[in-house]
């Protein structure tokens, strides 16, 4: 199960998992253009609605297959400095990035009685990022959620977080070019990351290859946290 | 402005209300160029008292780091104090007072008590 699966990092994760088989990947998004690979079942739902998580759970149960992995990837931004941030900008980002992930994890963890792995897509912004009080708080909260669930769902379900830095995606393309260039110049690997590079780590965390890893946050940021 | 994290339940509405309260108080403080300190429980940074409290504490820590960046130019600071179970409340309050009065220290996490030693860095 991958949320925010229509584009960017979410799409790369869904396609990576679908190509791995034999398994069925259920991709959740609001967008109608959700990728339709052979092993990818689309579900369109507003995860912030009261019945959103239940609808996703029904989709999993309808598949008749055991749920072995959940990737909470869906996320939005609405940037401004704290002094100018509106109530709506704050609330919408927290609801999508944190509330939906929490409610969906709680709902779907019940279906992982045979074990499983949850991966939360946080962001390097959890370490702080100018103009993103709401986004940074939501991703920091996701880190805390990861740790709490890692403790409460052990030993059956592992829970980890991936914190991407600047990744080439629709979200980062919304950043003005001169700002993006300045950001890239501060990255030791001198480039943006790709959605596939995030998907590779998520795939690893979903598989038994990472069977002794839980409660961790792994940054995919080209070394930006050091520069 | 010194903001003590409230004891929230695991209900998302409760968590969002607490985060929103912190946001509104912080925005008002920032608009007045007033320094900010969040006070949280150390166990919550590691998720040891449940998801609701964990989301609140770690959300505040990350928000503090971002707000700290924004305050640099205007001279206001943002820091976090995390206390261990059983820590002396007066000592915790003293640290919060000291940090909110400081113009040199920002974006920091100060721990009162030893519970964080040997555990993950938040």
Per-residue confidence (pLDDT) for residue A169, from 0 to 100: 86
Min Cα–Cα distance to chain A from B118, Å: 15
pLDDT over threshold 60, residue A35:
no
Q: What angle do CA A15, A95, B68 make, to 5 degrees?
A: 100
H helices present in chain A, as ranges: 8-20, 52-63, 87-94, 100-109, 133-153, 170-173, 177-185, 195-206
pLDDT over threshold 80, residue A31:
no
- Mean pLDDT across B51-74: 97
Per-residue confidence (pLDDT) for residue B8, from 0 to 100: 98
Which residues contact residue A177 at a Cβ distance below 8 angstroms, ignoring those fewer than 6 apart?
none
* Confidence band of A38 (pLDDT split at 50, 70, 90): low
The two tokens of residue A114 are: 């045979």
Are residues A5 and A44 in contact, defined by beta-carbon separation less than 8 angstroms? no
CB contact under 8 A, B16 and A141: no
Given CB atoms, is A189 within the 8 Å cutoff of chain B? no
Min Cα–Cα distance to chain A from B119, Å: 12
CB contact under 8 A, A141 and B62: yes
* Confidence band of A22 (pLDDT split at 50, 70, 90): confident
ipTM for the predicted complex comes to: 0.97
Which of B12, B31, B62 shows the shortest C-beta gap to A99? B12
Per-residue confidence (pLDDT) for residue A23, from 0 to 100: 83
pLDDT over 70 for what percent of chain B? 100
pLDDT over 90 for what percent of chain B? 93
- Chain A partners within 8 Å of B20 (Cβ): 87, 90-91, 94
Own/partner pairs for A56-64, CB < 8 Å, 24+ apart?
Answer: A56/A1, A56/A26, A56/A28, A56/A104, A56/A107, A56/A108, A57/A107, A57/A108, A57/A110, A57/A111, A59/A26, A60/A1, A60/A26, A60/A108, A60/A111, A61/A111, A63/A24, A63/A26
Calpha distance A209→A214 (Å, rounded): 12
Own/partner pairs for A176-180, CB < 8 Å, 24+ apart?
Answer: none
Calpha distance A23→A38 (Å, rounded): 11
pLDDT, tens digit (0-9, with 9 covering 90-100), for A177-218: 898 999 999 999 999 999 999 999 999 999 999 999 999 999
Q: Considering only A5-19, A73-87, B39-53, B88-102, which range has the smallest mean pLDDT?
A: A5-19
């Amino acid at each position: 199960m991958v949320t925010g699966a229509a584009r960017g990092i979410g799409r790369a994760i869904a396609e990576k998992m679908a190509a791995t088989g034999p398994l069925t990947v259920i991709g959740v998004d609001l967008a109608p253009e959700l990728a339709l690979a052979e092993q990818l079942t689309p579900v369109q739902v507003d995860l912030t609605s009261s019945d959103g998580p239940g609808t996703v759970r029904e989709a999993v149960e309808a598949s008749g297959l055991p749920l072995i992995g959940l990737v909470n990837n869906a996320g939005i931004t609405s940037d401004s400095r704290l002094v100018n941030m509106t109530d709506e900008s704050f609330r919408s980002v927290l609801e999508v990035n944190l509330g939906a992930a929490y409610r969906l994890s709680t709902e779907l963890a019940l279906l992982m009685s045979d074990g499983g792995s949850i991966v939360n897509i946080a962001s390097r912004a959890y370490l702080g990022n100018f103009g993103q009080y709401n986004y940074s708080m939501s991703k920091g909260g996701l880190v805390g959620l990861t740790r709490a669930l890692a403790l409460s769902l052990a030993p059956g379900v592992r829970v980890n977080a991936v914190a991407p830095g600047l990744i080439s995606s629709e979200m980062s393309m919304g950043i003005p070019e001169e700002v993006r260039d300045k950001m890239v110049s501060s990255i030791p690997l001198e480039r943006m990351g790709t959605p596939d590079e995030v998907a590779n780590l998520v795939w690893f965390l979903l598989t038994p290859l990472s069977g002794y890893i839980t409660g961790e946050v792994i940054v995919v940021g080209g070394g930006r946290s050091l520069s | 402005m010194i903001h003590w994290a409230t004891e929230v339940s695991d209900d998302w509405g409760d968590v969002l209300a607490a985060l929103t309260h912190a946001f509104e108080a912080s925005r008002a403080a920032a608009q007045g160029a007033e320094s900010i300190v969040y006070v949280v429980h150390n166990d919550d940074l590691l998720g040891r008292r449940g998801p609701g409290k964990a989301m609140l504490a770690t959300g505040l820590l990350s928000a503090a780091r971002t707000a700290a960046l924004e305050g640099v130019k205007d001279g206001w600071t943002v820091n976090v104090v995390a206390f261990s179970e059983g820590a002396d409340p007066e000592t915790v309050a003293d640290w919060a007072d000291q940090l909110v009065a400081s113009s040199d220290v920002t974006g920091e996490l100060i721990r009162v008590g030893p519970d964080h030693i040997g555990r993950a860095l938040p």
